[in-house]
Amino acid sequence: MIIKNKIKRKRKFKNKIGDTMAKKIILKKSERTQLKSKRDEKNKIGEAVKVLNENPNNENWAKFSAELKNSKAKHYKIFYPDALKGKDNLTKAYAVLYDSQFKVLFKIPVISINNKSVNGATIYLKELTLNRR
């Protein structure tokens, strides 16, 4: 009887450990899933940024704009070459996007080029705020 109870207790204990380990495995799996979905998100926006830098047309700006809403970007700052002296080329300007802690996230253009026609594109950043630091 005592041995039976011992075995019972051992099994219960093992099951408890098993449950705990199972919980850990499940948790780790969900963490892994979360990490994976975060990575996928990062890759998605990373891809959108890469495509935008290569070809800043309206279509790619629209795709980037959709990904920007789900990203961590909160602030922006725009950089131009030497201001207004001599011949400036606005196509060299770029914007840097920062997260809420002002950590640098991406670098993107500030213009849109469609059929050799160049237009400004800062309107796509209107959900962000200026980094005045």
Partner 1 sequence: MIQQNLNELENKAVYLIREANAKLNNIAVLWSMGKDSTTVLYLIRKAFAGKVPFPVIHIDNGIDFPETYEFRDRLAKKLNLNLIVAKSEIKREISGFSCCGANKTVELKKILNDKGFNGLIVSIRRDEHGIRAKERYMSERDKDFKWDYKNQNTEIWNNYVTNTKKDGHIRVHPILDWNEIDIWNYIKREKIPINPLYLSKEGRRFRSLGCTHCTTSVKSNANTIEDIIKELKTTKTEERGGRQQDKEKEYIMQKLRSLGYM
87 binds partner 1 (CB under 8 A): yes
Give CA–CA dist 16/64, Å, rounded. Answer: 49
Among the residue ranges 6-14, 24-32, 45-53, 120-128, the one whose residues contact partner 1 (CB under 8 A): 120-128
Q: Which residue's CB is nearer to partner 1, number 2 or number 86?
A: 86
Q: How far is the CB of 36 from partner 1 (least distance, A)?
A: 32
Q: Site residues for partner 1, window 40-69 (CB under 8 A)?
A: none
- Is residue 74 within 8 Å of residue 100, measured between CB atoms? yes
β-strand partners of 109:
94
122 binds partner 1 (CB under 8 A): yes
Q: How far is the CB of 24 from partner 1 (least distance, A)?
A: 44
**Cβ neighbour number for residue 121 with a 10 Å cutoff:** 21
Tokens 């001599």 found at: 86
Q: Which residue's CB is nearer to partner 1, number 51 or number 113?
A: 113
Give CA–CA dist 67/28, Å, rounded. Answer: 27
Task: Give the sign of the dihedral formed by CA 96, CA 99, CA 104, CA 108.
Answer: negative
101 binds partner 1 (CB under 8 A): no
Where do contacts with partner 1 occur on this chain (CB under 8 A)?
A: 76, 78, 80, 83-91, 93, 110-112, 117-130, 132-133
